[in-house]
Structure 1
């Protein structure tokens, strides 16, 4: 059963969620994109269309962008999180989902995280990503936030096409691409017959090409011809999601409770350990033992190439590597884990958000260890 692969990815810590705005209002508390498109078209006397991007493009002609911005705010301002949002938060929190990408405009998922007291970093532009706490899950609002930042909105057809040329979001888009390349992905709340989803595919998902890992989308009753089209694009269609997030029903298979994570090494603060673990998962080649070993050809860490531990999943591989390197140092007394962070940093473009994260963690860990005294010899 296809859902077994999703459940396995959740258990291994390699599942990313993409959440769209096409679910019905009865479920989310806000109109779907198609419902908003029809309402916006009626308000401005235009031919109705299921594509919000097309209608907004027409409304926005001649500098009238404010018209659909005000409309969106009116549609969303009185909404509150629903059971659907709370179920997503519970799944993400209980099983350590690290990346969630939302193309909904309502911001209700963020509020559901806040209501549950679950820390999450919410970003839609690079300036936010630069100061995000690395030990928290990342919620990327890919199409912006109309209530907090109207300039961030991606609504019209031109907005969609310009998204990948927006320098203010280069690092955020790198995070989206990285999520596709390193995780099994579940698309939830996307009407795959909607023209706007094809825009998303062409401008975001298609850019990952053959590099993206296995992906699934939940959309009941999609015609067989459409199922085949999306299969060619690398996305398998499911009639329902494995955990009943949409209907709250019985799961296809209930995921077990996550294993208790191993404790941080005794002299590393737990918060720093979580930051390092998250950065390595996001920025390093930990998807397999085979992918990781070439990294250790670098002379700074080649000393530990032949002693790297094997593991069955990315999260286990990261944890084993941290434990293996933390109490080791080279002949000059530099900690092996610090060296690993530096190697990864130096192999990353300076424009990539990972560069700054790895650099900051390498310095923080190095300062900590120097304050405690030298680590154990190799």
Structure 2
């Protein structure tokens, strides 16, 4: 069931949109770990929705809410049309990508290169706001190439906010549009959390979410409580070590965690896997998102190897998951109700030897 369109989404923690990673299978699994974390789709271009199989790109399970659709594009009318599609499908937010630095995205005149055209971004936001009643947000960098001063970031934010942007998600690195790969653009330009914190002070009424370099819940708690940010977005760490999400509901939202062990999370995921297999979805399309589930635990390597070697085989079924799971040492007894931290388990086990 979709959230009330007029309701303010809780942005305390979100998982970043990541191409080839945050598909509907990963999002369903992430939702089993946290009921409250805001999830994002992979970026979907306006061209793909308007000229392609829109249902394939927009399909999701109702359990994934709260869920935001990220769009890539630069034509206000096309973005408005696609925003309406997203709203009609029941998404809880429409987000505009103004942060991706890849060559393909630049060639389409969208992504991070749009930071050089703040007036156009403002027009895009205004058009989408006029088309839908759900929140419209922007995900940006702090700058691009040599247009990387704090003053330019403020000017960009002023125009986007004036257009009605409901929240600004800022990846706290600038992007080099030439000379660095997308991966290098996530690692080489220095992190400048201070700029995002200052931006929140300069725009106190604009919900502000920090993205980039966050890998621990302790960092999230500090940024929310002491730095007065409205939210934190985690990217690769939440994908490569999904168990990070399993203590989010208790620590950040004050509710019970859905599961207390990775084994419980896997058991909750199996019915979904069976349904998808029955619809013809290959097992590997789902298991590829689970490789990091037992991160830092005894047997994690055997878990990954079993999935990698067997999930791609013709006719591979749920037995691959059960076999892989049998090779992982349990972290806690089935009757144990408290949350068990993966990394801590690994450290304690190592210290006991």
Q: State the TM-score, normalized to the length of structure 2.
A: 0.31
Higher helix share: 1
TM-score by length of 1: 0.29
